[in-house]
Structures are given as structure tokens and as C-alpha cells.
Amino acid sequence: MKRIGCFAVIFICLFGAGTPTLADGAPTVFVSILPQKFFVQQISGDLINVEVMVPPGASPHTYEPKPSQMRKLAESRAYFTIGVALEEAWLDRITRINPEMMVVHTEAGIDRMAMSGDHHHEGEQAETDEHGHEQGEQAEGGLDPHIWLSPMLVKQQAEVIWTSLEALDPENAAAYKTNFQRFSDRIDELDGQLKRVLEGKKGMKFMVFHPSWGYFARGYELVQVPVEIEGKSPKPAHLRSLIELARREQITVIFAQPQFSRKSAEVIAREIGAQVVLIDPLGENWFENMTVVANKLEAALR
Ligand code: ZN
């Protein structure tokens, strides 16, 4: 008897420790990327367990789920898509394992634009397929998936998340509504802050290795100049033309992100005396991340 009791204590310590704040019997839902986990948790609080498909440091353009994730997906109540390539490749398989699961397309209703950099380099058209397969972005018809980097688009996604959580768990509808309202207000605040910070920077250009910041740039009237072409590092000739462009446009900042190579950004930066700013568009603390980006742009654009 004593021994069993002891095992029970160990069991609780090992398996209970990871989720101490979750409500009893909290349903599990899945999202594709970390910022989405943040969005769902802003609205769900501790009432829902949120699992993420793409772990920190991995790219949503190339990631393949692990068998342990597929097992958890079989029990998941909902999947919140956002339009990244891995969904295109896996969602069918996932819904076959778990036909009861609610699939919520948070990107629905968002008018997505063409991925920046796709028609930048006319001579390389032939590589689209090979490359698109590798990076996955062509699978979405070349549409830009990075809708989580625009506060106003995140507000739209948050509304979809809110109404879906209500449908999933009507008992807690009041809590979801309150949380959504608070999140929505904070997004408005952030948007106002970004507008103020970037006010005098309209039309200014910044370079970025992987063009994740298209919607952000559009929202605050900045211009994103991609280094990567169709998901590839530039060849020497293209790199030279980028250096000339950067010099001509007096570009002072080049963004790079941990999921992609920093090499060409560093080469260009060295040539023109710009700084490379490492920024992670997939960082989990979205509010903090957006503020960091705005501050770095404010400091660098002149
Ligand atoms: Zn991307």
C-alpha cells in the first residue's frame, strides 16, 4: 500500500508539474506557430491547453510533425490554421486521424498578398518549382503567409479564435468574451504606438533576408526589400545588384531571423555599412516582439 502511494506522488510530480496553471479537464487545441499560441492564450487564459506544431527555431515552411505530435493531435479538440505551408501538407492527414476535430481557419477572410520577392528576379523563373517545394511557400499559390505580423490582421484572427472557443466551450463564453475584448484593446494600443513611432518614416525602405514583414510594412507605410529570392540565398550577381540597390536607397538596416542563414545579410551590411538586426518573427511573446521591431526600425531608419 505504502509503495503505491509513493508511486502516485512521483507520478503527480512528474506529470502534473508542466501544466500547473491549467483548469481541470482543460481541452487541448493545436496551432501551427508560436505567435498563434500567444493569441489563443490571450483569449483562453488557463481554460484551454494550447499545443504548437512548429517548435522554437524550426521553420513553418519546412517543418514535419513528430509521431508524438500526431498522437496528441488525435485527441485535440481544434486546430487553428494560419495558412503556413505545413498545414497544406499535413492537415488532410491530421483530420483523417481525428475527424471530430474542429478546424478553424484563422486566415479566412484575410486578403493575402503575393509573397514579396517572387517576381523580383525574372531570369530565375525556372527555379520556382524546385524552390517552392523546398520552402513550401509556392504551395499557397505564392501568397504571403506572414499575417501574424500585422496588428490589424491579428485583431481579425483574434475574433475568429474568440468565436471558435465560444463554440468549443460555451460554458466559458463570458470569460472568452472578456479576454478577447482586453486583447483587442491592447492590439489597438500597440497599433497606435507603432503609428506614433513610425510616423516620420513613411516610404522608407528596410532590407530583410526572408520577407516576413510585408503586411507590417504595408500597415505602417514602409517598404520591405527582400534579400532572399523565392526562398533562396541570392547568387553572387544578384547579391551585387542588392548591394547597389541598398547603397542607392541608403538602406541602414537589414533584418535577419534565426530560422534562415544570415550570411548574405552580413555581406550586404558590411559592404554598405548597415547593421544586421536579428529579429524573430516567430517569437512567442508577440507584443514584446512587435515593440522591439518598431524600436529597431525607429532607431535605424533615417
Ligand atoms: Zn516565412
**Cα(7) to centroid(ligand 1), Å:** 46
What pLDDT shows up at residue 115? 84
**Cα(205) to centroid(ligand 1), Å:** 19
**Cα(231) to centroid(ligand 1), Å:** 9
**Cα(209) to centroid(ligand 1), Å:** 10
What pLDDT shows up at residue 116? 73
**Cα(259) to centroid(ligand 1), Å:** 9
What pLDDT shows up at residue 140? 46
**H-only helix segments in the chain:** 2-16, 34-44, 67-73, 85-97, 128-135, 151-168, 173-197, 214-219, 236-248, 263-272, 286-300
pLDDT tens by residue, the chain, 302 residues: 444 444 444 443 333 333 447 878 899 999 999 999 999 999 999 999 999 999 988 888 789 999 999 999 999 999 999 999 899 889 999 999 999 999 999 999 999 999 876 533 333 332 332 223 334 344 446 789 999 999 999 999 999 999 999 999 999 999 999 999 999 999 999 999 999 999 999 999 999 999 999 999 999 999 999 998 877 889 999 999 999 999 998 898 899 988 888 899 999 999 999 989 988 899 999 999 999 888 888 888 87
**Cα(170) to centroid(ligand 1), Å:** 35
**Cα(102) to centroid(ligand 1), Å:** 25
Report whether 208 contacts 264 (CB < 8 A): no
**Cα(10) to centroid(ligand 1), Å:** 42
Residue that is written with C-alpha cell 517576381 in the block: 119
**Cα(145) to centroid(ligand 1), Å:** 7
